[in-house]
């Protein structure tokens, strides 16, 4: 064991420390340290401008990170703790801008309190490069995702614009108010979310549901706008609008339009099989159409139509309840759950309508 | 001279190092170089005639594999939380960091910097709908650009003023 004023001079140890690029310091008293062995080049470059050879070193002015670490190291040494207290990596730049990754450790060897400062730049090089690459890859992935999201949004906006322009045609032709058919989309979106559809599907049905009556474009005005009850022949012609709508929208590559085609074709089908054009019942009717049907009927009840005056919200709710056997029970149940939100949409729409924004024709 | 320690906190690649570099050297580089561990810079500022030496602790950003070492914040007089305006998720991370810091060190002065405001066309600020709420809850927010230098000095000046107060 060396004496208190002795330095490490054994050639093997000196070479070992040089190979590890490590400075060994021994604590003399609190915050004062003496160099043991050789001072490595990195330490000279970073800290030793103007510091007398051999120390003692006081770190608080030259190396704030080491000084911070020593606040932890002091109690560690005082307790004569076993093992090694590690500072974690920190970075220093020398006067030429070279970057060093350093690490400090405190340990007790016999009565000596040892502080090691090691240059890990080479050792950590591969690890740092890996971390740099991993983070760059994460950023690149994030950028790509953002670009895809932006492009998808663009496409969605275009789809929506096309659908809205198609809707305008229905509004002009059919006489329904624009507000009515848009409300159906909003109700359907809410209902779909309640049923657990994905956000994309909810978005699709908001645009697709209002297209349910697109086939009305092909129905003659003499029938569509007839102020009196239709005769059986006229009614037969009117009942063709689901098929016509389906023909117009089918075979699209756009999921939204494929959904709209189903809705157009089946929105007059009833859960109990009493609907048209095919008299389907239960799950044979696509869910998108089952969902749109209840929204369409409810909104028609609470808003003025060609043939009758509107009902109060409560009366419409009662009628829907009395006819609930015609609706999918799960969808009906969810619809009842979201009635407060539906009322809010309807009320907001009514306010806007009273400002003259409601009616197209 | 009074010395004050300020920590830079946030996830990786939000611009913490660039903000420090802009503040200390008035320089900016487009190249992203991840910080490993901690880097400490110094800058002397004057406040109401008094000289203050700021020790700027630039901590490695958090990610799934790296968590901020709260022991590095010991002795800090304040901190800057940095989020990237072009990455909405970085905003959630600073909220999380702030909670951890407050739980560990108590209440310290801090500011939230939404960096990269030179890239506003790529901003996801609409998705950061919690910003308004934070502002209402007393968080002090500042949009910055390490690239142009916008609000960088202001951010430090505001924080130092709070720390001294």
| Cβ pair B122:A146 closer than 8 A | yes
* pLDDT tens-digit series, residues A228-254: 889 999 999 999 999 999 999 999 888
* pLDDT tens-digit series, residues A291-300: 999 999 998 8
* pLDDT tens-digit series, residues B1-55: 888 999 999 999 999 999 999 999 999 998 888 898 999 999 999 888 888 999 9
Q: Which residues of A touch B37 (CB under 8 A)?
A: 88-91, 101
Query: Taking all residues of chain A, what is their mean pLDDT, rounded to a whole number?
Result: 86
Q: Domain segments of chain B: what residues?
A: 2-164
CA distance A230 to A232: 7
Task: Give the residue carrying structure tokens 């390490």.
Answer: B146
- According to CATH, the topology of domain B2-164 is Rossmann fold (3.40.50)
DSSP letters spanning A331-348: HHHHHHHTHHHHHHHHHH
Q: Cβ neighbours of residue B134 under 8 Å, at least 6 residues apart?
A: B95, B112, B141
Give the bridge partners for A112, in sequence order.
A109
The three-class DSSP label of residue A147 is helix
For residue A41 the two structure tokens come to 């080049």
Of A88, A128, A131, the CB nearest to B69: A88
User: What domains can you pick out in chain A, each with its CATH number?
Assistant: 11-127 (3.30.450), 159-357 (1.10.3210.10)
| Cβ pair A132:B35 closer than 8 A | no
Nearest to A241 by CA among A263, A209, A271: A263
A71 CB within 8 Å of a chain B CB: yes
Q: What percent of chain A has pLDDT over 70?
A: 89
* pLDDT tens-digit series, residues B90-134: 988 999 999 999 999 999 999 999 999 999 888 876 655 666 667
| Cβ pair A139:B34 closer than 8 A | no
pLDDT score at A267: 96
For residue A144 the two structure tokens come to 């790509």
Q: Which residues of B touch A64 (CB under 8 A)?
A: 40, 42, 55
Angstrom distances, CA of residue B79 to CA of A79, B97, B99, B113: 32, 11, 13, 11
| Cβ pair A131:B33 closer than 8 A | no
Angstrom distances, CA of residue A208 to CA of A150, A239, A292: 22, 20, 9
CA atoms within 13 A on the CB side of A21: 16
Cβ distance A89 to A102 under 8 Å? Answer: yes
The sheet with strand A112-119 has its strands ordered as A32-36, A22-29, A112-119, A99-109, A85-93, B38-47, B50-59, B2-9, B78-84, B110-115, B141-143
Strand ranges, E, within A30-109: 32-36, 85-93, 99-109
Q: Which residues of A touch B71 (CB under 8 A)?
A: 72
Q: Is A229 exposed, middle or buried (0-12, 13-18, 19+ CB in 10 A)?
A: exposed
pLDDT score at A310: 61
Of B36, B75, B122, the CB nearest to A131: B36
pLDDT score at A174: 64
| Cβ pair A89:B37 closer than 8 A | yes
Nearest to A268 by CA among A298, A243, A293: A293
Q: What percent of chain A has pLDDT over 90?
A: 50
Regarding pTM above 0.80, the answer is no
For residue B161 the two structure tokens come to 């003023």
The three-class DSSP label of residue A80 is coil
Q: What is the mean pLDDT of residues A313-327?
A: 91
* pLDDT tens-digit series, residues A178-208: 677 788 999 999 999 999 999 989 999 999 9
Would you say residue A2 has pLDDT above 80? no
* pLDDT tens-digit series, residues A104-144: 999 999 889 999 999 998 888 888 899 999 999 999 999 99
């Amino acid at each position: 064991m060396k004496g208190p004023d002795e330095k490490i001079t054994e050639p093997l140890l000196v070479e070992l420390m040089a190979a590890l690029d490590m400075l060994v310091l021994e604590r003399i008293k609190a915050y004062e340290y003496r160099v043991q062995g050789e001072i490595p080049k990195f330490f000279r470059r970073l800290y030793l401008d103007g510091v007398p050879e051999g120390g003692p070193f006081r770190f608080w002015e030259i190396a704030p990170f080491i000084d911070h670490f020593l606040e932890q190291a002091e109690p560690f040494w005082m307790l004569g703790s076993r093992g090694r207290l590690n500072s974690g990596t920190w970075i220093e730049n020398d006067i030429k801008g070279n970057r060093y990754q350093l690490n400090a450790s405190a340990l007790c060897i016999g009565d000596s309190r040892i502080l090691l400062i090691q240059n890990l730049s080479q050792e950590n090089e591969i690890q740092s490069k890996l971390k740099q690459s991993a983070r760059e890859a994460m950023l690149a992935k994030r950028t790509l995702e953002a670009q895809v999201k932006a492009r998808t949004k663009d496409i969605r906006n275009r789809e929506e614009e096309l659908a809205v322009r198609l809707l305008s045609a229905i509004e002009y032709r059919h006489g329904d108010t624009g507000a009515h058919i848009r409300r159906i989309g909003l109700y359907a979106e809410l209902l779909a979310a309640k049923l657990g559809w994905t956000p994309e599907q909810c978005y699709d049905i908001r645009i697709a549901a209002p297209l349910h009556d697109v086939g009305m474009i092909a129905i003659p005005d003499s029938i569509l706008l007839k102020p009196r009850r239709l005769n059986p022949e006229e009614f037969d012609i009117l009942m063709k609008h689901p098929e016509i709508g389906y023909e117009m929208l089918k075979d699209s590559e756009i999921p939204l339009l494929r959904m709209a085609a189903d809705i157009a074709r089946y929105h007059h089908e009833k859960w109990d099989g009493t609907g048209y054009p095919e008299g389907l019942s239960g799950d044979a009717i696509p869910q998108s159409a089952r969902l749109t049907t209840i929204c369409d009927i409810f909104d028609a009840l609470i808003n003025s139509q060609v043939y009758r005056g509107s009902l109060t919200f409560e009366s419409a709710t009662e009628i829907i309840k009395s006819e609930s056997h015609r609706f999918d029970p799960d969808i009906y149940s969810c619809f009842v759950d979201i009635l407060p939100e539906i009322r809010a949409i309807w009320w907001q729409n009514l306010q806007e309508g009273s400002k003259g924004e409601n009616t197209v024709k | 001279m009074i010395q004050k320690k300020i920590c830079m906190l946030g996830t990786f690649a939000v611009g913490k190092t660039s903000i420090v570099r802009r503040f200390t050297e008035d320089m900016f580089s487009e190249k992203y170089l991840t910080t490993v561990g901690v880097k400490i810079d110094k800058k002397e500022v004057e406040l109401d005639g008094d000289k203050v030496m700021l020790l700027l602790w630039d901590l490695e950003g958090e990610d799934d594999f790296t968590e901020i070492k709260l022991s590095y914040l010991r002795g800090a007089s304040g901190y800057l939380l940095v989020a990237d305006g072009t990455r909405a998720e970085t905003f959630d991370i600073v909220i999380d960091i702030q909670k951890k810091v407050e739980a560990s060190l108590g209440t310290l002065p801090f500011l939230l910097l939404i960096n990269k405001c030179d890239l506003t066309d790529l901003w996801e600020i609409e998705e950061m709908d919690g910003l308004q709420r934070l502002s209402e809850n007393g968080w002090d927010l500042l949009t910055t650009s390490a690239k142009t230098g916008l609000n960088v000095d202001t951010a430090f000046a505001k924080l130092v003023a709070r720390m001294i107060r």
